Amino acid sequence: MAEQSLPSYIQTYRSGKLAEKIRRAYEILEDCTLCPRQCHVNRMAGETGVCRTGNQMTVASFHPHFGEEYPLVGRNGSGTIFITYCSLMCCFCQNYDISHEGWGEPVTDLQAAEMMLALQQRGCHNINFVTPTHVVPQILSALEKAIEDGLRIPLVYNSGGYDRVETLGLLEGIFDIYMPDLKFMDPEIARQACDAPDYPETAKAALKEMHRQVGDLVINDQGIAVRGLLVRHLVLPDYMAGTAEAMRFIARQISPGTYVNIMSQYRPMGRAAEIPGLSKPLFPEQYHEAVASARKEGITRLDR
């Protein structure tokens, strides 16, 4: 692989900055403020907060994924590693068994590194960490081992968008591709769905920081994403996600060149029936209106 096409984490590793990031990240776990919940528990001593994760990462599965965004999938798939548990905990989570019920097995840094290398060996175009917010230190530590054994494909930070800018700062020079959700624009909806009324403002700040680090999505001659921001937005019934406002924010405060996946796959899962309006599926016309709202704001890079 040509030097100029290597992922940014290679230079971060060679400069010694990765080791420093690992040290700082594990210090945070002693009084955990990794995510916006800021539980202040000592995860290094086995204490757990909202994410129910101590000092070891738990993984539900890892495999080439062909249901991700087109520039991530390509011919050989996106190398997804599904992290167990979550710090956002949406009541309607489409992966409820993983995020809420804790399906998965604890893994060591070496085992996580081996997962990355196995996905690379299978030809995956990237390593895609799904719900990584609460295990940033463990990912960084496993990455160091994977680099030493030959990892050379980009990393994808696939989060719910509920990320602290301070934690994202640790990831500069590590993740070349950020893929956050922009879930809700109404604090009350966010409060009802995941007890996070601060979600809209937190996610806006996170997306701005991600874009500052990596810019608009860059796709190579083979149609594969190599660097940049890709935003997901799940359309909810009865306009509860605030799609029009979300698209306006992206176009005007991030970039009209942002690559956006407007998702139609909402279905009532988990405890969705507890929230008025979320107990029913999404109607097709509501999805079509969502796509139209993106185009109205000048967003044209929409996933297939």
3-state secondary structure the chain: CCHHHCCHHHHHHHCCHHHHHHHHHHHHHCCCCCCCCCCCCCHHHCCCCCCCCCCCEEEEEEEEECCCCHHHHCCCCEEEEEECCCCCCCCCCCCHHHHCCCCCEEECHHHHHHHHHHHHHCCCCCEEEECCHHHHHHHHHHHHHHHHCCCCCCEEEECCCCCCHHHHHHCCCCCCEECCECCCCCHHHHHHHHCCCCHHHHHHHHHHHHHHHHCECEECCCCCEEEEEEEEEECCHHHCCCHHHHHHHHHHHHCCCCEEEEECCCCCCCCHHHCCCCCCCCCHHHHHHHHHHHHHCCCCCECC
Domain membership of residue 35 (yes or no) is: yes
What average pLDDT does this structure show over 167-172? 98
- pLDDT-derived band at 39 (thresholds 50, 70, 90) equals very high
Instruction: Quote the pLDDT of residue 3.
Output: 47
Domain membership of residue 221 (yes or no) is: yes
What average pLDDT does this structure show over 277-292? 94
What average pLDDT does this structure show over 267-286? 92
Domain membership of residue 303 (yes or no) is: no
pLDDT in tens, 46-67: 999 999 999 999 999 999 999 9
- The percentage of the chain sitting over the pLDDT mark of 70, rounded to a whole number, equals 99
Q: How many domains does the chain have?
A: 1
pLDDT in tens, 62-78: 999 999 999 999 999 99
Q: Which domain holds residue 278?
A: 3-296
Domain membership of residue 249 (yes or no) is: yes
Whether residue 152 contacts residue 6, with contact meaning beta carbons closer than 8 Å, is answered with: yes
Domain membership of residue 304 (yes or no) is: no
pLDDT in tens, 80-91: 999 999 999 999
CA atoms of 207 and 250, how far apart (whole Å): 9
Of residues 217 and 94, more confidence is placed in 217
Instruction: Quote the pLDDT of residue 191.
Output: 97
- The percentage of the chain sitting over the pLDDT mark of 90, rounded to a whole number, equals 96
What average pLDDT does this structure show over 10-28? 98
User: What pTM, to 2 d.p., does this model score?
Assistant: 0.96
Give the pair of three-digit tokens for residue 119. 């996905």
pLDDT in tens, 198-209: 999 999 999 999
Instruction: Quote the pLDDT of residue 2.
Output: 47
Whether residue 81 contacts residue 98, with contact meaning beta carbons closer than 8 Å, is answered with: no
Give the pair of three-digit tokens for residue 58. 């738990």
Locate tokens 């507890």: which residue? 274
* CATH code of the domain containing 74: 3.20.20.70
Instruction: Quote the pLDDT of residue 276.
Output: 86
Instruction: Quote the pLDDT of residue 5.
Output: 82
Domain membership of residue 301 (yes or no) is: no
Mean pLDDT value across the chain: 96
Domain membership of residue 302 (yes or no) is: no
- The single-letter code of the amino acid at 85 is Y
Find, among 80, 71, 165, the residue nearest to 120 by Cα. 80
pLDDT in tens, 96-138: 999 999 999 999 999 999 999 999 999 999 999 999 999 999 9
Instruction: Quote the pLDDT of residue 193.
Output: 96
Residue 244: Cβ-neighbour burial (10 angstroms; 0-12, 13-18, 19+): middle
Domain membership of residue 202 (yes or no) is: yes
